[in-house]
Amino acid sequence: MRASIKFAILTLAILTCFVMAAFAQGGNRQRNYDPNSETTVKGTVEKVVETSGQRGWPGMHLTLRSSDQTYEVHVGPANYVSKNGFAFASRDQIEVTGSKLNQGNMIIAREIAKNGNVLTLRDSQGIPKWSRGQRWQ
C-alpha cells in the first residue's frame, strides 16, 4: 500500500512540474514567433485595423508599405499600445522589428519605432509583454 501511495505522489509531483513549466512559458503564446526569422522593415502605415481578439481584447494590425512590398503587421492588444503612449495612423513612418511568417508577408511585431520612440511588444523569444501578469487594462 505504501508503495502505491508513493508512486501516486511522485506521479502527481511530476505532472505538476510540467503544468507549471507550461504556464511559466506564457501558455505557448509565442507559438508563431520565430527569433530566427526576425527582420526589420521601414515603411509607411497604410491602414490601422482593430479586430476582436482572444478574451475580447481588441487586437491591432497594421498594413505597412515599404519601398518594395506591403506587410501585414500583427501588433497586439490595442489597449496595451495606448497604455504605453502609442497610437498609429495612416501615413505614419515606422520601423518594425519582428518575426516574419512563412505565409505571405505577415510580421509579428516585437518592437515598433515611431518618431524616435520605441514600443516594445514582445521579448526576444516572442513572449508578449502584456502576458506577464501585468494589469494594463
Question: Residue for cell digits 494589469?
Answer: 135
pLDDT in tens, 73-92: 999 999 999 999 999 999 99
pTM of the model: 0.72
Burial label, 22 (beta-carbon count in 10 A; 0-12, 13-18, 19+): exposed
Residue with cell 495612423: 89
What are the sequence ranges of the domains in the chain? 1-31, 35-128
Give per-residue pLDDT as tens, 6-32.
554 544 444 443 444 444 444 434 468
Q: What is the pLDDT of residues 99-108, one digit of tens each?
A: 999 776 999 9
| C-alpha cell of residue 85 | 503612449
Task: Output the nine-digit C-alpha cell for 5.
Answer: 501511495
**Inter-residue contact 72 to 93 (CB < 8 Å):** no
Give CA–CA dist 129/121, Å, rounded: 6
User: Is residue 3 pLDDT above 80, yes or no?
Assistant: no
Three-state secondary structure of 21-54: HHHHCCCCCCCCCCHHHEEEEEEEEEEEEEEECH
List the beta bridge partners of residue 78. Answer: none
- Residue 57 pLDDT > 80: no
* CATH code linked to domain 35-128: 2.40.50.140
